[in-house]
Chain A
Amino acid sequence: MVFDYYPGCTLKTEARELDEAGRRSAAALGIELQELDAWQCCGAVYPLGRDEIAPRLSSVRALAAARDHRRDLLTLCSACHHVIKRVNHDIRTDEKIRDTANSYMEGEQAYQGETKVVHYLEMLRDTLGFDELKNRIKKPLTGMKIGAYYGCLLLRPGKVMSFDNPENPSIMESFITALGAEPVIYPYRNECCGGYITVKEKDQAARTASRVIDSALEHGADCLITACPLCLYNIDVNGTSSKDLPVYYITQLLAQALDV
């Protein structure tokens, strides 16, 4: 199976390990990732204003390129996934946004929302299957107690993201089980890490991240996994909890278990 792949800016810089481990693992699993040759930054936050057209264009261009290649568009970063998936929904449901965005795309075939956006975890669940993933594991993570940290962007709003049950998700726990480790359920797994607020509101960021860490520690997690570079940063750098809680990218543990 071949996917068009949209890595995003942070995966080329600070979160290189999220990208590289993801590529190594996909190759080992027989999934081909073709990086789009001219992707642009997704803008990191979804444009909530209905009148914001320019911040939607990079997503539309990536979506249209995947449509032209007749492939699904695979994402890995939670933020890129959130932005591109929601812009795709706008194009499908909001005529004004669709027409205005397409007016900037002169010379190309109008984009109508044809492309399917697939997150890496969805690919593992729906294309490969977690049972098959379990069969391919070379070094199971036996004995590790891992807390899935979903955060916000993969899940909400549930009606648009259609990723999993937004209040009681299970996809990352199934992933952890397939790797041979033990998933730890804790109440703050789908609460916010603080997001961009870390840039200017350090106290608020510290309190928000610490609530997630304390909740996971209380329920016995040895570490957390995430698909979001900003979640990883906030948990790792801004937490003020008494005990350290390591946090890894989903693909780092996947690559470790696949021994690639």
Chain B
Amino acid sequence: MHQNNNYLVETAAQISGVNPKSCMKCGKCTASCPAFDDMDLSPHMFVSMVEAGRIRELMESTSLWKCLSCFACVERCPRGVEPSTLMEAVRLMVIRKQGGHRISADEIPELLDKRIPQQALTSAFRKYSR
């Protein structure tokens, strides 16, 4: 199901509650990000693309699955833009679509070791599935 672009832009804004137009392009988010070198689109690029309404491209980005939600970018943004909240909004738009899950109960046993805390599994289900 191909969604209309205005719908995607409005949905990202509603879920995140964040205004990307406040961004002043200082790059502090990317400079602070412990995962930026694992990402295809670094946090400052991600924010710019939300601002430009390029949500469909962002939904294909690997950055969604690399963000640690550590909130370093949120803490250090001088304009209150919250890049990780924008990433989460787009991530939610992907996993809420039919077939958008990134994890299923069947693959869990293989991912386990004896010491993995329950917290890790609960977090993974929250991050990778509806």
Contact = CB atoms under 8 A, between A and B. Distances in A.
Contacts, number: 128
For the residues of B in contact with A, the DSSP-based class is helix
B115 interface: yes
A48 B119 contact: no
Contacts of A43: 122, 126
A195 interface: yes
Given A51-B14, A195-B68, A196-B120, A45 B103 contact: no
A10 B117 contact: yes
Question: Which of B102, B116, B120 has the most chain A CB atoms closer than 10 A to its own CB?
Answer: B120
Contacts of B123: 44-45, 79, 195-196, 199, 230
Contact of B120 (A50, A167, A230): A230
A196 B84 CA distance: 15
Interface residues of A, number: 44
Contact of B119 (A79, A158, A236): A79
Interface of B: 14-17, 34-35, 38, 65-66, 68-72, 74-75, 84-85, 88-89, 92, 102-103, 111, 113, 115-124, 126-128
A237 B120 CA distance: 13
A208 B34 contact: yes
Contacts of B34: 191-192, 208, 211
6 contacts: A43-B122, A44-B123, A155-B75, A196-B69, A200-B111, A230-B117
B66 to A, nearest CB: 7
Nearest to B11: A51
Contact of B126 (A9, A44, A50): A44
Given A44-B122, A197-B68, A229-B117, 10 more contacts: A9-B119, A14-B119, A48-B89, A49-B15, A49-B88, A51-B14, A167-B75, A199-B124, A232-B117, A236-B115
Nearest to B128: A200
B120 A45 contact: no
A242 interface: no
B119 A230 contact: yes
Contact of A48 (B88, B111, B122): B88
Interface string A224-248: 0000011011001100000000000
